[in-house]
Amino acid sequence: MQRKNRTQLALGLLLILAAAWLIATRIYPDLDEMFNLVFDWPLWVVISGGLILLIGLLVGAPGMAVPACIVAGIGGILYYCNSSNDWAAWSYLWTLIPGFVGIGTILSGLLEGTFRQEIRHGLNLLVISAILFAIFATLMGGAAFLGDYSDYLPIGLLFLLGLWLIVRGIFRRDRPRQ
C-alpha cells in the first residue's frame, strides 16, 4: 500500500471513530456526561492527537506522528488556557507549535528508522520554538511565573543558543562541495 493511501486510510478511520463516538453519545447521553465529568474539553483534543498517532502506527504510516504531536500539543495549550482562565497566553504560547512539529519529527524518525536524519531537524525546530517562546513570553508578560528572574530568560536562552551553535558546529559533518 502506498504512503498516500495509508494516510487516507488513517484519516478515514479517524473520521469513522469520531462518527461512532458521536452516534454513541446521541443514543446514550449518559455516556457523554460520564466522560465530561472526568475530562475537560481540551483533553479531548489531546486524546484525538493520541488517536491520530495510534491510527498512524496501525496502518504503518509513522509520518502521522507529526500531525499527532501538533494536535496533542495544541490540546495541551488549550488545557492550560482553560484551566488557568488565561486565554491571553495565546499571545506567546503559539510559539510552541514549531516545537510540537520537532517532537513529531523526532518521533516519526524513531518509528521509521531514520532517527539520525530526523533528530537534527527536530532539535532545530525545538530550539527555534524555545527562542520564539522566550522572546514572546518576555514581551507579552508571560515569563512572570519566573518572578524576579523573568528578565534573565532571554539572556539564558541567548546563552543556550550560542552553546547550541557551537556544539552543532563541532559535530556537523562536512559535506563535499560539488
pLDDT of residue 177: 56
The reported pLDDT for the residue numbered 101 is 96
Instruction: Provide DSSP, 75-133.
Output: HHHHHHHHHHT-GGGHHHHGGGHHHHHHHHHHHHHHHHT-HHHHHHHHHHHHHHHHHHH
| pTM given for the model | 0.70
* Confidence at residue 68, expressed as pLDDT on a 0 to 100 scale: 95
Instruction: Say whether pLDDT at 173 is over 90.
Output: no
Domains identified in the chain, total number: 1
Q: Please give the grid coordinates belonging to residue 100.
A: 510540537
For the segment 91-95, the average pLDDT, to the nearest whole number, is 91
Give the confidence band of 96 by pLDDT, cuts at 50, 70, 90. very high
Specify if 75 maps to a domain. Answer: yes
pLDDT bucket at 71, cuts 50 / 70 / 90: very high
Give 59's DSSP letter. Answer: T
4 pLDDT more than 70: no
pLDDT, one tens digit per residue, over 115-136 is 888 888 898 899 889 888 888 8
The 10s digit of each residue's pLDDT in 142-162 is: 766 666 776 777 777 778 778
What is residue 176's predicted lDDT score, i.e. its pLDDT?
57
Question: Is residue 82 situated within a structural domain?
Answer: yes
The reply to whether 178 falls in a domain is no
Lowest-pLDDT choice from 4-8, 87-91, 95-99: 4-8
- Mean per-residue pLDDT, 66-91: 92
164 domain-assigned? yes
pLDDT at 78 over 90: yes
The CA distance from 83 to 28, in Å, is: 28
Q: Is residue 40 part of a domain?
A: yes
Structural domain includes residue 176: no
Spatial distance between the Cα atoms of 68 and 53, rounded to a whole number of angstroms = 5
Q: Which domain holds residue 80?
A: 3-171
Q: What is the pLDDT of residue 38?
A: 57
**Could you tell me if residue 177 is inside a domain?**
no
Q: What pLDDT was estimated at residue 35?
A: 65
85 dihedral zone (left: phi>0; alpha: psi -120 to 50; beta)? left
* Structural domain includes residue 114: yes
Binned at pLDDT 50, 70 and 90, residue 73 comes out as very high
